[in-house]
Structure 1
Amino acid sequence: MRFSKLAIIIYAARFISAASNYKTAHIEEERKGFICDGEFFSEAQFRAERSGAVNDLKNGNRIPILAEEFMYYFVSEQQERLMMYDNGDAKEHYSFPLPSLAKVVYQNRRKFQYDYHLVLDDSARVCALILWKIDIHQYHYRNDGTHEICSISS
């Protein structure tokens, strides 16, 4: 019986370790970058919107992302790649749209709206970049789309 308990403990420890493999420590904001759908985004490309997001955050104009929803985004992705800056001290995370990066992409005779969302923590540090791909049908019907957590590139 003791062996099976030990096996369960080891398995749980491996799962917890694997679940944190997608994180890396914060670096200077100016050095942060992401790769989404094969395209590189540097901090300079979203600097102005990040500044506005920081002001919104300081003024209390945002509602935090639910912790369960936030973790779902990362758990559902490939965890063998770095997707998030995190020092383990953030209590909440916030999502901010980046309209300057939004675009329409045509793939296999389909039309997709690409919307990017910057994730900041409660210390106003950039943590992640999320790409929402929304399939736009010919009758202007839009579904909820799919998300992709961008990889860290720095």
Structure 2
Amino acid sequence: MTLQRMDNVGIVVDDLKAAIAFFTELGLELEGEGRVEGTFADQCVGLDGVSCDIAMMRVPDGPGRLELAKYLSPAAGPMTPQRPPHNLVGMHRVMFTVTGIEDVVDSLRPYGGELVGEIARYGDTTKVCYVRGPGEIFVGLAEYLT
């Protein structure tokens, strides 16, 4: 058995259109949208009566993909506590390399992007920050300076 590649990262969202707009603004491209339901979906996720709208986003000129999923049934519950901190067990984030990190953060604000903490600088090599997006999604941004 050999691992071939990492195919995608999946995130459950409460507003698919808002999430698509947020990640489009970040620079990802919408690869396609569709609905997943039926026995196959039930078996994959271990739930009964699954109906889920999905959107596959891709990194331009790269192999990375992000799958956004909006559960219609069974309805997805909110993460608890409200405004969860990043250090909760099971919490996740997606990290992207960008240029002009300050401008990227500013451009995401109209799409629900909110800076968590601040843009931190690691020596002369890197700037890193977390942005909270629609539906409490955590996105990491890194700008390599060298």
**Normalised-by-shorter TM-score class:** under 0.3
Larger strand fraction of residues: 2
TM-score of the two chains, using structure 2 as the length reference: 0.27
Pair member with larger Rg: 1
Larger helix fraction of residues: 1
